[in-house]
Amino acid sequence: MANSMAALELRDLSFAYPRREALLAANASMNLTIPCGEILALVGPSAVGKSTLLHLMAGHLRPQAGQVWRSGPTLVIYQKDALLPWLNVEENLQFAMTYALTPHSPGEVRQSARNALVESFQLSPYMSLFPRELSGGLRQRVEVARALLAGAEILLMDEPFSALDALTRVRVRQETFQILRRRRTTVVLVTHDLLEAAQVADRVLVLEPNPCRVRAEVRLEGEIPRSMTGMEFQRSFQELNRFALDSVDVRLESTR
């Protein structure tokens, strides 16, 4: 039975791609509960199964065994945005409202939500521009705003800022997660970047492969997003580094 306080639950999950070794094996099945409003980061080496786990959570893949339960509308945001190139920013946002995942609210309520997000993401000067005319950071801000306008209560984010340059990545990440935390949106973030996880996550799962399983769970303290010059961020980053290095040592030992 689903936990009434959970946004996402994975129960006894196992999965394998055809003619390949099981990514989530029956003898190491995945069990995970993500509370409403939590920001959870998944970190681990390449090909460990982070993106596959995200697709299972979204319902894009079906597990061979086990169950995935979602409390509300769920959308995935990828490294490259999915803005419609023939629509400008205003029209992309309107498209999200027209084809929302949730029953339509009264027009004035939807317009109020749209106005609030446009202000939060500072999109007003760009509403008449087309995606090709926007920077990468702006495109991702529009993408997240569009997902929220569509009614997404759970956002599954697959390295959404990795294509941005370092300075833009820090700024856009800070702005985006300020808004997501204020709205109490549930987020699962796949990342290779421990700095990113330390800045924005309530909890971090360090994954290891063959089959994919949780090597360590790290709960982080402090207000989100954490200031990258603050002590809470420094402590979080040091703790994640320690767990990551422990995982590397274990993998090296297993290959000897």
Q: Which two tokens stand for residue 6?
A: 């959970």
d(CA 117, CA 90): 12
Query: pLDDT tens-digit profile of 208-250?
Result: 877 777 888 888 888 888 888 788 888 887 878 777 666 544 4
Q: Is the pLDDT score of 174 beyond 60? A: yes
Q: Confidence band (pLDDT; 50, 70, 90) for 70?
A: very high
Q: Do 56 and 10 touch, CB atoms closer than 8 A?
A: yes
d(CA 247, CA 207): 9
Among candidate residues 209, 172, 167, the one with its CA nearest the CA of residue 42: 209
d(CA 256, CA 241): 23
Among candidate residues 193, 185, 213, the one with its CA nearest the CA of residue 41: 193
Q: Is the pLDDT score of 40 beyond 80? A: yes
Show me where the domains of the chain are located.
6-194, 218-256
Percent residues over pLDDT 70 in the chain: 85
pLDDT at 1: 45
pLDDT at 107: 59
pLDDT at 240: 80
Instruction: Report the pLDDT averaged over residues 50-63.
Output: 90
pLDDT at 221: 86
pLDDT at 23: 63
Percent residues over pLDDT 90 in the chain: 38
pTM for the model: 0.86
Instruction: Report the pLDDT averaged over residues 99-119.
Output: 74
Question: What CATH number belongs to 6-194?
Answer: 3.40.50.300
pLDDT at 39: 96
Pairing status of strand 39-43 against strand 203-208: parallel
| HEC secondary structure over 162-210 | CCCCHHHHHHHHHHHHHHHHHCCCEEEEECCCHHHHHHHCCEEEEEECC
d(CA 251, CA 108): 56
CB atoms within 10 A of CB 113: 15
Q: Confidence band (pLDDT; 50, 70, 90) for 27?
A: low
d(CA 22, CA 16): 4
Phi-psi region of 50 (alpha: psi -120 to 50; beta: other; left: phi over 0): alpha
Q: CA triplet 142, 170, 86: central angle to 5 degrees?
A: 20
pLDDT at 226: 85
Beta bridge partners of 207: 214
DSSP state of 226: P
d(CA 21, CA 27): 13
More confident residue, 2 or 115: 115
